[in-house]
């Protein structure tokens, strides 16, 4: 064993490290516990990377793959449907991120100002609950609530209030291109705001009480304390949350998939749902084209991660990767 690998203790004793095989055997329990996680990562994240090569092939299940070079990328960039899905992904993700963050900040400030501890904890619990519901359940609830049939609660309320005639057809909210996006944003705010408030409430609980005491001595009102003490303390956390979540804007799928339909593809279709439709909704799908779109989406996502990592280093002093 070379001296380079030896460890010198504080008393000057030279300790030679044990062989790698022996160290692994001595810690075999930890490796066995880690094995399922390692297998999952390999199967779900690394093994699929082997099939990236099919983005350069015409690949139909019924025939042998045929190399076509950059044909699929040329087709992808020439299709309006792809660019529509790409722009929708950025617009929906970024707008959802901004709205949910703003809503979480407002709710956090409201909860922080509540004096009744029991009411505060109760309200927190109620706001958190939607986060733990699956998107399939959320979609089912709001589909029933917004249904144009007689069972739709919102259309029923509009009829009761006289806004809609009793015999008039109901409004198809989720099939209207003008209404789908606002409804989508509202559903996301309802579902995710409570969970996001955890981060901001943790920041608010760490603000030095002496700052508020000094503000009271200076005669500051509650609004002024919120503006000049609370918001500056939250600013760094808000920026950090935005940066960390910006790296995930290309991952949007489930929340759109369970709520959209063919009537709103032009405003709701995102990259992940576009790939899904190209892979499974055609009679004979060219999986080479779907793989090419998925590869491009991954490259854009990687670029966003690198940008967010750079921004994180500038703002927080450390990266996210």
Whether residue 28 lies inside any domain: the answer is: no
Closest CA to 263 of 180, 321, 199: 180
pLDDT > 90: what percent of the chain? Answer: 31
**In angstroms, rounded to a whole number, what is the distance separating the alpha carbons of residues 299 and 49?**
13
* Positive/negative CA dihedral, 129, 133, 135, 138: negative
In the predicted model, is pLDDT for residue 281 greater than 60? yes
- The pLDDT tens digits of the residues spanning 210-252 come to 888 888 888 888 888 888 888 888 888 888 888 778 878 888 8
Whether residue 246 lies inside any domain: the answer is: yes
Whether residue 241 lies inside any domain: the answer is: yes
Whether residue 228 lies inside any domain: the answer is: yes
Q: What is residue 302's predicted lDDT score, i.e. its pLDDT?
A: 87
Per-residue pLDDT averaged across 186-194, rounded? 91
Whether residue 216 lies inside any domain: the answer is: yes
Asked if residues 105 and 172 have their Cβ atoms less than 8 Å apart, the reply is: no
Asked if residues 250 and 297 have their Cβ atoms less than 8 Å apart, the reply is: yes
Domain total in the chain: 1
Alpha-carbon distances, residue 276 vs 63, 269, 294 (angstroms): 21, 10, 10
Q: Residue 174 is part of which domain span?
A: 70-316
Whether residue 57 lies inside any domain: the answer is: no
Whether residue 122 lies inside any domain: the answer is: yes
pLDDT band at 142 (very low <50, low <70, confident <90, very high): very high
User: What pTM was computed for the model?
Assistant: 0.82
**In angstroms, rounded to a whole number, what is the distance separating the alpha carbons of residues 256 and 272?**
9
Whether residue 155 lies inside any domain: the answer is: yes
In the predicted model, is pLDDT for residue 40 greater than 90? yes
Q: What is residue 199's predicted lDDT score, i.e. its pLDDT?
A: 85
Q: What is the CATH number of the domain that holds 144?
A: 1.10.3720.10
- The pLDDT tens digits of the residues spanning 44-92 come to 888 988 888 889 999 887 788 899 989 999 999 999 999 999 999 999 9
């Amino acid at each position: 064993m070379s001296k380079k690998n030896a460890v010198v203790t504080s008393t000057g004793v030279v300790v030679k490290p044990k062989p790698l095989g022996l160290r692994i055997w001595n810690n075999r329990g930890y490796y066995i516990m880690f094995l399922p996680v390692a297998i999952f990562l390999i199967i779900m994240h690394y093994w699929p990377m082997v099939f990236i090569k099919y983005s350069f092939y015409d690949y139909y299940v019924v025939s042998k793959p045929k190399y076509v070079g950059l044909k699929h990328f040329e087709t992808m960039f020439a299709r309006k449907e792809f660019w529509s899905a790409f722009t929708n992904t950025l617009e929906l993700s970024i707008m959802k991120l901004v709205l949910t963050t703003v809503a979480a900040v407002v709710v956090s400030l409201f909860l922080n100002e509540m004096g009744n501890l029991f009411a505060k904890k109760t309200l927190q619990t109620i706001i958190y609950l939607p986060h733990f519901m699956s998107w399939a359940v959320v979609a089912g609830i709001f589909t029933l609530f917004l249904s144009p049939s007689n069972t739709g609660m919102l259309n029923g309320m509009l009829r009761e209030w006289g806004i809609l005639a009793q015999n008039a057809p109901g409004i198809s909210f989720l099939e209207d291109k003008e209404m789908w996006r606002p409804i989508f944003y509202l559903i996301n705010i309802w579902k995710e705001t409570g969970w996001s408030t955890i981060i901001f409430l943790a920041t608010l609980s760490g603000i030095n009480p002496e700052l508020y005491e000094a503000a009271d001595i200076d005669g500051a009102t509650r609004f002024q304390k919120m503006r000049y003490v609370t918001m500056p303390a939250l600013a760094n956390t808000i920026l950090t949350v935005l940066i960390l979540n910006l790296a995930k804007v290309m991952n949007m799928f489930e929340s759109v998939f369970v709520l959209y339909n063919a009537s709103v593809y032009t405003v709701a279709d995102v990259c992940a749902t576009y790939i899904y439709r190209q892979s499974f909704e055609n009679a004979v799908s060219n999986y080479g084209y779907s793989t090419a779109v998925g590869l491009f989406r991954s490259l854009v996502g990687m670029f966003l991660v690198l940008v967010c990592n750079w921004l994180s280093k500038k703002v927080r002093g450390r990266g996210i990767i």
